[in-house]
Amino acid sequence: MGRRRSHALRVALVLGAVWWAAASALAGPAELSQRYQDEVDRRLAVPADEVQRYGELAGSALAAAGISLTSAEYVVVIDRSPHVQALFLYWLSPGFPGWLVGASPVSTGRGGAFDHFETPLGVFEHGTANPDFRAEGTRNANGIRGYGAKGLRVFDLGWQQARRLWGTGGISTMRLQMHATDAERLEPRLGSPQSKGCIRIPASLNRLLDRFGVLDADYLNVTDGAASWVLAPDRTPLADAGRWVIVVETERTERPPWSPAPAGPASP
């Protein structure tokens, strides 16, 4: 009987250790920062003063939109400035400075062609009212996978008003999305304006946001329908999931050293 109890205790301790490791693997922003470092292959090293600056911009944008965070959550900040073109993933908590989890180059709207929009400024909610979908991996007439490889998630931010970057300009409605892009021809151009108005991000960052449900606060209790279908079957949702994508414009006149321009000619 003593041996049985001893064996049961050992099993319980092992199982408890496994559960604790799984539960604490992404217990906070420090752990997610390490995952970002290990798994996202296109990253930017942002200096401390810029970390503070973008954290303050995020807080100001949320306040201007009438959004008051009552608990900690992750938010995405995009600087659409042509001289920056970067994404910043923050963990924000009331009463604490913003924690930068990681940063990566992106592409936002580029003018000069029909149906191209300026990526709109503001705070956009990622939620089940505009269910996400997954890339089919098909190529367009130019041989480009616009959403990237098959299965990558397309984060849908709904219909938004945006400035047309063709013809005589003006304001029209566009579908704002955040998604990966063609790995061979367009991902190397991240860090410069290239899109039709959406936010293009690295495929490896797309996978991290998807697998850990970083922006899935509104999806946590979904059990059926399109919103449920899009969730990765092997996902490991973290605590403090968020829902806000914030687009800002810093109006810089030159590139900061920490956000270098991509090399090589522009792609279509």
Regarding beta strands 153-163 and 133-134, do their DSSP bridges make them parallel or antiparallel, or are they unpaired?
A: antiparallel
Residue 167 pLDDT: 87
* pLDDT of 24 above 70: no
Is 2 or 253 the better-scoring residue by pLDDT?
253
Residue 27 pLDDT: 63
pLDDT tier, 265 (very low <50, low <70, confident <90, very high otherwise): low
Q: Output the average pLDDT for the chain.
A: 88
**Beta-carbon contacts of residue 59 (< 8 Å; ≥ 6 apart):** 92, 98
Is 150 or 115 the better-scoring residue by pLDDT?
150
CB 69 within 8 A of CB 92: yes
Weakest mean pLDDT among 31-40, 49-58, 231-240, 257-266: 257-266
Residue 94 pLDDT: 93
Neighbours of 79 (CB within 10 A): 26
* pLDDT of 15 above 60: no
Residue 21 pLDDT: 37
| CA distance readout (Å), 190 to 29, 72, 243 | 25, 29, 23
Residue 141 pLDDT: 80
* pLDDT of 19 above 90: no
Give me the domains of the chain, ranges plus CATH numbers: 28-248 (2.40.440.10)
Residue 264 pLDDT: 59
60-73 pLDDT per residue, tens = 999 999 999 999 99
CB 40 within 8 A of CB 104: yes
Residue 114 pLDDT: 86
Residue 126 pLDDT: 97
Q: What are phi and psi of 171, to 5 degrees?
A: -110, 135
Distance of CA 1 to the CA centre of its chain: 54
Weakest mean pLDDT among 17-21, 60-64, 198-202, 260-264: 17-21
CB 92 within 8 A of CB 72: yes
CB 99 within 8 A of CB 29: yes
CA distance 56 to 49: 11
Strand order in the sheet with 122-125: 99-105, 86-92, 73-79, 244-248, 122-125
94-115 pLDDT per residue, tens = 988 899 999 999 999 998 888 8
pTM: 0.88
Q: Give just the sign of the alpha carbon dihedral 219, 224, 227, 233.
A: positive
Residue 255 pLDDT: 97
183-230 pLDDT per residue, tens = 999 999 999 999 999 999 999 999 999 999 999 999 988 877 767 889
pLDDT tier, 13 (very low <50, low <70, confident <90, very high otherwise): very low
